[in-house]
Amino acid sequence: MAENTQLQQRDGFKSQWGFILACIGSAVGMGNIWRFPIMVARWGGLTFLLPYFLIVLLVGNSGVIEEFALGRRAQAGPIGAFGYCTEAKTGNKKIGEMIGIIPIIGALMLAIGYTVVMSWIFKYTFMSITGSLFAMGQDMAVIGGTFGGAAPEAGTLGEAVSMMFSNGIFGIGNGVWLLIGLVVALIIMAMGVANGIEKANKIMMPILFGLFVILAIYIAFQPGASEGYKYLFTLDPAGLANGKVWIYAFGQAFFSLSVAGNGSVIYGSYLPKSEDVVASARRVAFFDTIAALLAAFVIIPAIGASGFAMADVTPGPGLMFVYLVNILNGMPGGRIIGVVFYVAVLFAGLSSIVNLYEAPVATLQEQFKFKRGAAVATIGVIGAVVALIIQPWTSQWMDVVSIYICPLGAALAAIMFFVVLPRDKAMEEINHGAKKAVGGWFVPLGYVYFVLCLVALVAGAMLGGIG
């Protein structure tokens, strides 16, 4: 196998759990916190969770394994990995390299949108610490107005650009916090894979899980929390026949596991051959699911205790920056609980954005021989400029990426590994470091996964997003 000398010059993950925690960090994001709990409540608790668990099992045993193995086989990100596959099949790597640009674009666009989201999280974490968040009490006009000021909205991209320039880039939106959040992420990345990404996730992920456990226990003892648990443990067998339950459960699992042909591929490229990618993928899927369930055990009972009608609360930023501010402020010890919650959310978002920016950063290193610092700085400048401009159009921006580019990237990676890469090379890579050889189930399951990637693309376009 041809070696990628540029990647050999870079460091990689130094421990199995360092890699796993970094991958968990990439998977645990806002979808786990502001979407998963509401989807569970809306579609009937266990009626939603049973299909969700099944799909996590399927994707974790196909797509996640495949993307880790693809990156490790090529010792490169999507461009180099796709090129390796087409070269192994046809002798021509250029075709694969051109196709590999698509998931890189997706990663960069998603990272830019996430940069805006992180600006909100950094601001609200700071406000929770200073007490200004708690000082708003339960006045929904003040709470809603505060978030509206941080997240202005425009109907079109052109209108958004016009809003930003006519008001001055820092005269509207959340520009200062956007730059602060981005700089923190870039500092972690500039320190490298082992000394930056791995070490940061070794700190952030255990704290995140610990904080959510504390929150779940605290909220369980609040009056009215039992109303939320009713939503969590509802099982309607007839509901399992509803096709939309399965589509939305699939969308939630698909996007939560971060299979998009970019971040998982580049993290896989940093793995040694001794790593068991099958076991690692399963652990990532397991802990990502635990994180989502912890979020549900915090948010759904909290809504139940608040007196808000569950049907009136919608998934998305409004849940985290409007409804939950009201709910947490109304609880005994609400100021402290608010700090705990937003610090946990900050770690979830920061670990995800680092993963998203890593793919384009690695691309500059691989394809243009940038040094690590220069690559991080270049991508950081691009991210800052575009994120500042698109602030009023963030929701639509993220929809374009998640509905179209991410499923397409996942499908392309699946084609490269399961179809283009010769079968013996693919299975050899899967079994490197494995304690037990993967059985004949893997490739057929991979084809099922590829079809589901196309389902995600079509269903997302038809329904306006499924995850």
Condensed to tens digits (0 to 9), the pLDDT of residues 102-161 reads 999 999 999 999 999 999 999 999 999 999 999 999 999 999 999 999 999 999 999 999
How sure is the predictor about 299, in pLDDT bands with cuts at 50, 70 and 90?
very high
Which class for 166: exposed (0-12), middle (13-18), buried (19 or more C-beta within 10 A)? exposed
- What pLDDT, on a 0 to 100 scale, did the predictor assign at position 434? 87
pLDDT digits (tens, 9 = 90+) for 383-418: 999 999 999 999 999 999 999 999 999 999 999 999
How sure is the predictor about 9, in pLDDT bands with cuts at 50, 70 and 90?
low
Q: Is the pLDDT of residue 72 over 70?
A: yes
Could you give the CA distance from residue 202 to residue 107 in angstroms, rounded to a whole number?
Answer: 23
Q: DSSP 3-state assignment of 54? A: helix
- What pLDDT, on a 0 to 100 scale, did the predictor assign at position 6? 42
In angstroms, what CA-CA distances link 208 with 214, 252, 333?
10, 20, 20
The angle subtended at Cα 421 by Cα 375 and Cα 11, nearest 5°, is: 30
Share of the chain above pLDDT 70, in %: 98
Of 225, 240, 252, 243, which Cα lies nearest the Cα of 39? 252
- What pLDDT, on a 0 to 100 scale, did the predictor assign at position 186? 97
- Half-sphere exposure (Cβ direction) of 454: Cα atoms closer than 13 Å: 7
Of 7, 51, 26, which Cα lies nearest the Cα of 349? 26
The mean pLDDT of 251-264, rounded to a whole number, is 91
Q: Is the pLDDT of residue 438 over 60?
A: yes
The mean pLDDT of 227-233, rounded to a whole number, is 88
Share of the chain above pLDDT 90, in %: 85
How sure is the predictor about 4, in pLDDT bands with cuts at 50, 70 and 90?
very low
Q: Is the pLDDT of residue 5 over 80?
A: no
Encoded amino acid at 297, one letter: F
Strands in 75-126 per DSSP E: none
Q: Is the pLDDT of residue 278 over 80?
A: yes
The mean pLDDT of 215-220, rounded to a whole number, is 95
Q: Is the pLDDT of residue 8 over 80?
A: no
pLDDT digits (tens, 9 = 90+) for 104-115: 999 999 999 999
How sure is the predictor about 33, in pLDDT bands with cuts at 50, 70 and 90?
very high
pLDDT digits (tens, 9 = 90+) for 302-348: 998 887 878 788 889 999 999 999 999 999 999 999 999 999 999 99
Q: Give every CB contact of residue 356 below 8 A, 6+ residues apart in sequence.
A: 26, 107, 108, 110, 111, 114, 262, 263
- What pLDDT, on a 0 to 100 scale, did the predictor assign at position 439? 85
- What pLDDT, on a 0 to 100 scale, did the predictor assign at position 310? 80
- What pLDDT, on a 0 to 100 scale, did the predictor assign at position 277? 95
Domains of the chain: 5-463 (1.20.1740.10)
Q: What is the mean pLDDT of the chain?
A: 93
Phi, psi torsion values for 412, nearest 5 degrees: -65, -40
Could you give the CA distance from residue 392 to residue 412 in angstroms, rounded to a whole number?
Answer: 31
Calculate the dihedral angle through the C-alpha atoms of 196, 199, 204, 205, rounding to the nearest 10 degrees. 120
How sure is the predictor about 11, in pLDDT bands with cuts at 50, 70 and 90?
low
Residue with the larger pLDDT of the pair 234 and 357? 357
